[in-house]
A and B are shown apart, each in its own frame.
Chain A
Amino acid sequence: MHDKTLAQLSAGLAAGEFSSVELTRHFLDRIASLDGKLNSFITVTEAQALAQAEAADARIAAGEAGPLTGIPLAHKDIFCTRDVRTSCGSFMLDNFVSPYDATVVSRLAQAGMVMLGKTNMDEFAMGSSNETSYYGPVRNPWDTERVPGGSSGGSATAVAARLVPAATGTDTGGSIRQPAALSGITGLKPTYGRCSRWGMIAFASSLDQAGPMTRTAEDAALLLAGMAGFDERDSTSAERPVDDYRAGLDRPIDGLKVGLVREFMQQEGLDAGVAKATEAVLEELKRQGAEVVEISLPNAHLSVPAYYVVAPAECSSNLSRFDGVRFGHRCEDPKDLQDLYERSRSEGFGAEVKRRILIGTYALSAGYYDAYYLKAQQVRQLIAEDFRRAFEQVDLVVSPTAPDVAFPLGAKADDPVAMYLQDIYTIAVNLAGLPAISIPAPLADGLPTGFQMIGNHFEEARLLNVAHRIQRETDWHQQAPEGF
């Protein structure tokens, strides 16, 4: 049952082959027996899941089901879930039981989806390996001595190991796409503003975006349809209708013009196996009639520097609310206000979060604002202009998702800058607010690689269409880690 895709499970539920309760129990059992090796879940919500599954079965029986009704899923622990601990991977929120649901959570619940639990993540989504979590690292099911990528590493691992058919993730600089690549699944970061950010604990507000993490593009289309849409509670939510992502999946792609980013392919540190895998996907695109050309993003090399000003600056402010007063960790016996703040925050946050808060505080402080923050906003504009020019020439911009395959646990833990370069191909997309998908490419040395496709604003349907066409003709996305 767990080898079926979300689309297949949906058909099976509709046909009465199994019930949602059976499906839910099956996946809960798998989590119970297998997640000890992976640590992909922070919280499993068994009782609530079974109640939701029963309700879903009743809906199916009454003929009121939609395509997502009765399907189990997991939420990254960055989404607020009412009456369920929402930790964001941090000791700071270890005791935080959210009083409300994120919009993405409530939308999927209304669609009848069954939440199995909350997945592990880098603390406050800051990390590219899932090693910064207070709840311990997540392990990659392809090689449990390796990282799954991050920050949505728990969601990526849970989907890759078939502990759940689908999961939500968030992507600020690559946090959906990079773990999807390293874990061999499909992950989509929608256009900024496509999914509501209400209830999604903010890391960098102008970059954060929620998206689906699934095994196939078709599943991503189904899940995104349930997540996306205008939300009046989010000022940055796009007030435009959601496309029918599934309807266009099979559209032929002959004549499609694809631009390969020259600078990315010439990037020092690009693994030969990953480059080869990228070539293989390009060949498939050509085989189906797409035209592949080289394009240039001349300022893309500045995306990591710009990002490491913008994201820390926003995070330094966003994380000020964790002060030990209204929720979250509070130190023992604070002697005064200053002590309350400093000890609660220092005890509550881990090293990477503190580093980013400090960098961001520095970048915004008097005398440095123009040199760092303003400069980064200008570089951001240059990067966005690079993409605007690219989309005048091509329909899609493509590249590897990450420069390398999954690395061993601890390999980059002591070198923040090396870790930051994991996101070298993904970050520019967030700065420009564009949609991008990572789909599995051929394995390299037995480990997954990812192929990234970037679309123009609100062109998720096109990305899903091309991804689906590739997956229809290849089996890279069907590769599964042994033992799961």
Chain B
Amino acid sequence: MQWEAVIGLEIHTQLATKSKIFSGSSTAFGAEPNTQASLLDLGMPGTLPVLNRRAVEFAVRFAKAIDAELARRSVFARKNYFYPDLPKGYQISQFELPIVGRGHVEILLEDGSLKTIGVTRAHLEEDAGKSLHEDFHGMTGIDLNRAGTPLLEIVSEPDMRSAREAVAYARKIYQIVTWLGICDGNMQEGSFRCDANVSVRPRGDEELGTRTELKNINSFRFLERAINYEIERQIEVIEDGGSIVQETRLYDAERDETRSMRSKEEANDYRYFPDPDLLPVVLDDDFIAEATRDMPELPDQRRARFESEHGLSAYDASMLTASRAHADYYEAVVAACGDAKLAANWVMGELAAALNKASLEIEQCPVSATGLGELLGRILDSTISGKIAKQVFEAMWAGEGSADEVIEAKGLKQVTDTGALAGWVDEVIAANPEQVANYRAAEADKRKKMIGFFVGQVMKKSQGKANPQQVNELLRQRLEE
């Protein structure tokens, strides 16, 4: 039988606020345990929550970015359950009236086509603390520094049909939240965590199969592997005559498998009800205008503009808008050199390779965008060749100075002096009588190819500094005399 997977994601993004969603504690990562846990974060009796304005603004920005309905009135509710990392015995979340309603994003499929993925809702809630399992005489330690960090939980429709699509969607959401600056995107620190709902059904069926929930996956690679594993597992279970149990499963990256979470086995009854300590969040036009005033141009808009304004292919435009930093860098290079395509080739080629090799993000790039633009300018004004430019780039990367400084210091300026070029051309012709004879005997259309040999020899003699166009021209004249 042909099987089809149906996947929906719930993505928890930590919002990049300075303070927690309901208290004035810092949200900075990595502090000593419980040093950023205030009375409220500890769930002390008598304490009360007050909502962080910035968290609401961030949710509004996200709604705008995914073209979602924004609730003018949203309500915080309590989700009741007992867990040691949940100090109040309930999580403040949103249930019936979330701040962000239906929206959508587009993902680029491998065949180059676009697919729309629906976002069901996104709601504000507080993060839980952490359980530390290293041994304290057989006990678990509880650190509540993270408790109360604002989260935007983004829930998708079950619109994805493969692990790849799920990853493309997750990357798209990641791109948007980091682009907007509402999430720092640090996946190692847990700023962006995915839960995947996975089910399978015979291809062509309308009805959904029983789903399992894969919890807390914090890398795109693991997301893909976990979903693929789970799809295979479910198909195997069904083909063996079994049935899927609706349950929560944990992905074990070391063993590359998912397994049932025994401790969460019991059916949950969260007893949601409106939190009486908080009032409805009411958004008026002024608030929305203020929250979205400094919104950057969004990735999809920018991608479209790169295609139309800079004449880039859909693929290139999408690569160059992978992050806001990428797009900003690229546009600064274009501004400095004036050639959009050359800039695109370099940013996606030489620069990307160097960053990758050094494991650096573009924000940490040792060569500035204007510096790279200047270098490309030297190619365009024929000061150096593209090949020499790579050498200059390496020196710039190593901190040896600007493009012009490196060209000057290393004497890499292209030789355009006809006298010097003619000398090298003569030497090459004199040294290769056989090839010259062959060339002259060849048909005109073959000659084009054959001239490459002579150009190569001249370039070698000039240590790459000769202007290739001029060399070409001179050679043709001499060989065809």
Set of chain A residues within 8 Å of B78, measured between Cβ atoms: 317
CB of B48 to closest CB in A, whole Å = 5
Among A202, A204, A233, point to the contact of B50 (Cβ < 8 A): A233
Residue of B nearest to A342 (CB): B82
Give chain A's interface secondary structure class. loop
Please state if A100 and B44 are interface contacts (CB–CB under 8 Å).
yes
B82 engages A323 (CB within 8 Å): yes
Q: Please, how many angstroms separate the alpha-carbon atoms of A323 and B84 in the complex?
A: 9
B271 contacts A317, C-beta separation under 8 Å? yes
Q: At the interface, yes or no: B238 with Cβ under 8 Å from chain A?
A: no
**Chain A residues within 8 Å of B42, by CB:** 326-327
The CB with the most chain A CB atoms within 10 A, among B46, B49, B50, is that of B46
CB-based contact B48/A234 at 8 Å: yes
* Distance in Å: Cβ of B75 to nearest Cβ of chain A: 12
Task: Among A99, A204, A319, point to the contact of B39 (Cβ < 8 A).
Answer: A99
The reply on A288 being an interface residue by CB < 8 A is no
Asked if B84 and A337 sit within 8 Å, CB to CB, the answer is yes
Chain A interface residue bracket vs B = 35 or more
Q: Which of B49, B80, B84, B87 contacts A235 (CB 8 A)?
A: B49
A235/B279 in contact, CB under 8 A: yes
**Interchain CB contact under 8 A, A321 and B89:** yes
- Nearest B residue to A205 by beta-carbon distance? B276
Instruction: Report how far A80 CA is from B42 CA in the complex, Å.
Output: 15
Q: Is the CB of B84 within 8 A of A325?
A: yes
User: How far, in Å, is A372 (CB) from chain B's closest CB?
Assistant: 11
Q: Is the CB of B269 within 8 A of A321?
A: no
Residue with the greatest number of chain A CB neighbours at <10 A, chosen from B47, B48, B80, B82: B48
Residues of chain A within 8 A (CB-CB) of B142 are 325
Instruction: Say yes or no: is A320 at the interface (Cβ < 8 Å to chain B).
Output: yes
Known: A323-B89, A325-B84, A364-B271. A235 touches B277 (CB 8 A): yes
**Within the assembled complex, what's the spacing in Å between the Cα atoms of A206 and B275?**
9
B278 within 8 A of A: yes
Q: In the complex, how many angstroms separate the beta carbon of A248 from the nearest chain B beta carbon?
A: 30
A235 touching B45, Cβ below 8 Å: no
CB within 8 A of B269: which of A201, A325, A365? Answer: A365
- Whether a CB of chain A sits under 8 angstroms from the CB of B88 is yes
- A232 interface residue (CB < 8 Å to B): yes
A165 within 8 A of B: no
A373 to chain B, nearest CB (A): 6
Q: Is the interface of B mostly helix, strand, loop or mixed?
A: loop
Collect the chain A residues with CB atoms within 8 Å of residue B43's CB. Answer: 321, 326
Q: Does A341 contact B (CB under 8 A)?
A: yes
Of A96, A99, A199, A235, the most chain B CB neighbours within 10 A belong to A235
- A200 and B46: CB pair below 8 A? yes
In the assembled complex, the Cα of A341 lies from the Cα of B83 at a distance in Å of: 9
User: What's the tally of chain B residues with a CB closer than 8 Å to chain A?
Assistant: 28
- Interface: B273 (CB within 8 A): yes
The answer, among A88, A201, A235, for a CB contact under 8 Å with B278, is: A235
Contact A326 B87 (CB under 8 A): yes
Is B90 positioned at the interface, with any CB of A under 8 Å from its CB? yes
Residues of chain B with a CB closer than 8 A to A202's CB: 45-46, 277
Residues 364-396 of A contacting B (Cβ, < 8 Å): 364-366, 369, 373
Q: Binary interface profile of A, 227-257, with partner B (CB < 8 Å = 1, else 0)?
A: 0000011111000000000000000000000
A100 to B272, CA, bound (A): 30
Q: When each residue 90-102 of chain A gets 1 if its CB lies under 8 Å from chain B and 0 otherwise, what string results?
A: 0001001011101
Interface string of A328-369 (1 = CB under 8 A from B): 000000000100010000000000000000000100111001
Q: Given that A99-B44, A317-B273, A341-B82 are known contacts, is A235 also in contact with B51, CB under 8 Å in the complex?
A: yes
A232 near B39: Cβ-Cβ < 8 Å: no
Chain B residues with Cβ under 8 A from A373's Cβ? 273
- B37 closest partner in A (C-beta): A326
> Which residues of B from 35 to 59 have beta carbons under 8 Å from A?
39, 42-51
Q: Is A314 an interface residue (CB 8 A)?
A: yes
A235: chain B residues within 8 A (beta carbon): 48-51, 277-279
Measured in the bound complex, the distance between the Cα atoms of B89 and A98 in whole Å is 19
Contact B46 A198 (CB under 8 A): yes
Which A residues are CB-close (under 8 A) to B47? 198-199
Residue of B with least CB distance to A327: B44
Please, which residues of chain A bring their CB within 8 A of the CB of B273?
313, 317, 364, 369, 373
Shortest Cβ-Cβ A-B pairs, 5 listed: A320-B89, A364-B271, A205-B276, A206-B276, A321-B43
Query: Can you show 6 pairs from A to B with CB atoms below 8 A apart?
Result: A317-B271, A321-B89, A365-B269, A366-B269, A369-B272, A373-B273
Chain B interface residues (CB < 8 Å from chain A): 39, 42-51, 78, 80, 82, 84, 87-90, 142, 269, 271-273, 276-279
